[in-house]
Structure 1
């Protein structure tokens, strides 16, 4: 157990290269940081202090459990449950629905932070705090979950940074934007429940890119060999900081080459 004061976290983030006044998308493991007096609140405050009053902090607040039960595998549910689940789910509400436990306690802390804004996608929402929060989360379409008009697309337009705090590139959601940028990405039908004005849930479906993060660790490792990611300590955690445009552009080129080659091998 190591004691990590909040002010030292802020210093570590600044030393890593967090842009004061910038837009920062963070993926995180709270436990990796060490023992911080004040807990998750202090860690989020350290991030906001590093960004300064003109900076904006963004986190994924995805709700993967709000999805078609026919696709569930960990664990699966009986087919006779599928329709009752779709019918009885209360429906995603940006103000009410917590982030999935897989997103971590820091993401949920940001979601509930005073002044936080959240996008309204029922499966891959993002929350943001800061003066550019509205620019990041507005207009999140069902059928462009992680594409150009999504929060990750907004981060690209705003030339933001990505921080992996104690997690690997398999959590680097920005790489999905590279999938959306492929010439003919695989697509699938998705579904979720959305809360209506009368408080009931309504099941909706849409078609979008079928995301695949199975090779993101490989992409990230290759990206880091270019020197475009800064790796260093943030408390007891390892932080990886990069410009989002750089990693998205690299991933788009990597996917175009390597996934096409893998498909050719499979079809041979």
Structure 2
């Protein structure tokens, strides 16, 4: 017999069983494919999360916009070099209200467009949030701190937020990037279109060259000793764990495994 689909109600029950509670602040990464068929799709998933978090909780998601970048770095797909000047001149400036996120999943994009959602103002690595502390968490996002001390990730660490992985692995755990700012990492140039007092401008800045290629290994090392709650949400394997603990572990792990200390 085919199992019944998950619903807003059953997902809320699964999230509660996992350990999510009213008043929590959580940064969520998810896969609708892993969660399974849900009447209402990603909207129902967001509703279930908000049902559990309640009016005092806050739901945060990445809302990244990698397409607002120098076309010379594009590879999936690349574009002809003769197009590059036109793209740089005419790429719309990042606008938190209207610029769509890219490559972060249907649930996260639904949060970004949710009534009352607040989005941080970064042209490449913004976050979006709904809930009691959304405005405070999104208030600061320094241009040269994509995922560092001047970003919402640090704010999430400070308030004792937790990470929720719904049907996805540690390779997409954005919180690990905060650790990259606490160990010696090379820096690189980033470019994109932004709004300024003078109007739209194409700008270039220098920031840490973040890299998630080894986050699966990092997560595998972290999990055995971590304060992780495991469960099933819909059809998805789920993990719930503290941002602060994960970042502290990642900082030590990166010092040893990327730098051999």
Q: Classify the TM-score, shorter chain.
A: over 0.9
Question: 1:48 matched to which residue of 2?
Answer: 50
The 3-state SS of whatever aligns with 2:61 is strand
Question: 1:186 matched to which residue of 2?
Answer: 186
Question: 1:174 matched to which residue of 2?
Answer: 175
Question: 1:10 matched to which residue of 2?
Answer: 12
By how many angstroms is 1:80 displaced? 1.9
Distance 1:89 1:201 in 2: 9
The 3-state SS of whatever aligns with 1:144 is coil
Task: Indicate the larger mover: 78-87 or 59-68.
Answer: 78-87
By how many angstroms is 1:259 displaced? 0.5
Question: 2:133 matched to which residue of 1?
Answer: 132
Question: 1:218 matched to which residue of 2?
Answer: 217
Deviations 1:9-31 (A, max 9, x none): 11111111113202100011112
Question: 1:208 matched to which residue of 2?
Answer: 207
By how many angstroms is 1:88 displaced? 0.8
Q: Would you identify which runs of 4 or more consecutive aligned residues in structure 1 move more than 4 Å? A: none
Task: Indicate the larger mover: 170-179 or 68-77.
Answer: 68-77
Distance 2:59 2:163 in 1: 10
Question: 1:241 matched to which residue of 2?
Answer: 240
Question: 1:85 matched to which residue of 2?
Answer: 87
Question: 1:228 matched to which residue of 2?
Answer: 227
Asked if the contact 1:89/1:201 (under 8 Å) is kept, the reply is: no
5+ residue gaps, structure 1? none
Distance 1:23 1:221 in 2: 24
TM-score relative to the length of structure 1: 0.93
Tell me the number of residue pairs that the alignment of Structure 1 and Structure 2 aligns: 259
Distance 1:108 1:195 in 2: 22
Distance 2:143 2:226 in 1: 35
5+ residue gaps, structure 2? none
TM-score relative to the length of structure 2: 0.95
The 3-state SS of whatever aligns with 1:127 is strand
Distance 1:119 1:19 in 2: 25
- Structure with bigger helix share is 1
Question: 1:257 matched to which residue of 2?
Answer: 256
The 3-state SS of whatever aligns with 2:140 is coil
Distance 1:194 1:178 in 2: 27
Distance 2:118 2:197 in 1: 19
Asked if the contact 1:57/1:130 (under 8 Å) is kept, the reply is: yes
Q: Is it true that 1:35 corresponds to 2:37 in the alignment? A: yes
Distance 2:56 2:224 in 1: 32
Asked if the contact 1:66/1:123 (under 8 Å) is kept, the reply is: yes
By how many angstroms is 1:197 displaced? 6.8
Q: CA RMSD in A?
A: 1.5
Deviations 1:145-192 (A, max 9, x none): 10112011110001100001111111000000000111x221011011
Asked if the contact 1:88/1:201 (under 8 Å) is kept, the reply is: no
Deviations 1:205-253 (A, max 9, x none): 1111000101000000111111422221001111111101111100000
